[in-house]
Amino acid sequence: MTNLLDGKSLAALHERELTDRVTALKTRNGGQTPVLATILVGDDPSSAVYVRMKGNACRRVGMDSRAITFSSSATTEEVLSQIDQLNADPDVHGILLQHPVPAHVDERACFDRISVAKDVDGVTSHGFGLMALGEPAFGSATPAGIMRLLSHYQIDVSGKRAVIVGRSPILGKPMALMLANANATITLCHSKTVNLEAEVRRAQLVVGAVGKPNFIPSEWIGNGAIVVDAGYHVGGIGDIESGDLLDRCAAVTPVPGGVGPMTISTLISQTVTAAERAAQSA
């Protein structure tokens, strides 16, 4: 029987646990509320929606968010200076810079300016390196959320042939390393991969992280595979064509309601952890 990997329900369950942790933290910490600072640069409507959803999730668990917005003409220096202020602010526990920023802003420089202790979205080179080496670090929120979803459904990836389609720094690459750290055998595909179809056909676990609607045809996916679709496009379409996958795969993430809610839940969870650590070291 196919496991529907229900990220929406799991995220709701995690939010109940997080609410308890936030309440306990506030009690121990003289009422101080954990705060996630979000930085949005430009006027991309999808990014604005994602940032709003993250702020709403903070409030649902009793945290605060501080929304900082820049116009699309903002410079790298202005964003860096804002990140410096947030790094130095003891009332801020996590910093999220919404990806993507406008092309003229140096996104990598901005990500890497975030202090590792507040890198709750797992975007810094330092955090990525620690995660890759299997050292403690906040993982990149989307792949870390996928790992939590697989773990909740007791899907053991050890020894499985995992094929990840997409190698972005926030999704495909960290996904590949997290799966390798969990003992999967990984193939990381991208736009220069020769014969993508053959790679996907061999996969026991497929992760769609391409950013193109229905890019991977369902007929490429083998019977009994585990299918994780990180894509989300207008009309509730993912990067992987859903077709008959529910009838013949071992596990499938729905779109929507699979990976998306787990990304937000992981971001919030990592912010609460950052706030707990800050309280301990105060």
Q: How far is the CB of 105 from ligand NAP (least distance, A)?
A: 15
Taking Cα atoms as reference points, which of 180, 9, 200 lies closest to residue 209? 200
The residue among 113 and 167 lying less far from ligand NAP, judged by its C-beta, is 167
Tracing tokens 């996928």 back to the chain, one arrives at 146
Shortest Cβ distance from residue 41 to ligand NAP (Å)? 16
Q: Which of 6, 112, 119, 121 is catalytic?
A: 121
> 171, 172, 173, 44: which is closest to 100 by C-alpha?
44
Nearest to ligand NAP of 241, 276 (CB atom): 241
The half-sphere exposure of 155 on its side-chain side, counting CA atoms within 13 A, is 27
List the structure tokens of 83.
């990140």
**Taking CB positions, which residue lies at the least distance from ligand NAP?**
168
The smaller minimum CB distance to ligand NAP, of residues 76 and 187, is found at 187
Q: Are 204 and 162 in contact (CB under 8 A)?
A: yes
* 37 closest CA partner among 101, 107, 86, 100: 86
**Residues 254, 181, 184, CA angle at the centre, nearest 5°?**
60
Is residue 229 part of the annotated active site? The answer reads no
- Residue 44 is among the residues annotated as catalytic for this protein: no
Beta-bridge mates of residue 41: 70
Looking at beta carbons only, is 76 or 193 nearer to ligand NAP? 193
Q: What amino acid occupies position 80?
A: L
Is 121 designated active site? Answer: yes
- The end-to-end CA distance of the chain, in Å, is 50
Residues in contact with ligand NAP by the rule CB under 6 A: 142, 165-168, 170-172, 189-193, 196, 209-211, 230-232, 239, 259-260, 263
Compute the distance between CA of residue 155 and CA of residue 72 in angstroms, rounded to an integer.
42
Q: Which of 6, 82, 98, 239 is catalytic?
A: 98
Q: To the nearest whole angstrom, how small is the minimum distance from the Cβ of residue 212 to ligand NAP?
A: 6
Q: How far is the CB of 191 from ligand NAP (least distance, A)?
A: 3
Q: Active-site residue among 6, 54, 82, 229?
A: 54
For ligand NAP, which is the closer residue by CB, 25 or 146?
A: 146
Taking residue 233's Cβ as centre, other Cβ atoms within 10 Å add up to 14
β-pairing verdict for 64-70 and 35-41: parallel
CA distance 269 to 180: 23
Closest approach of Cβ 44 to ligand NAP, in Å? Answer: 12
Q: How far apart, in Å, are the Cα atoms of 14 and each of 17, 32, 68, 124?
A: 5, 21, 26, 25
Beta carbons within 8 Å of 134's beta carbon, 6+ residues apart:
181
In the complex with ligand NAP, the residue whose CB is nearer, 48 or 279, is 48
- Least gap, CB of 33 to ligand NAP (angstroms): 25
- Known catalytic residues are 54, 98, 121
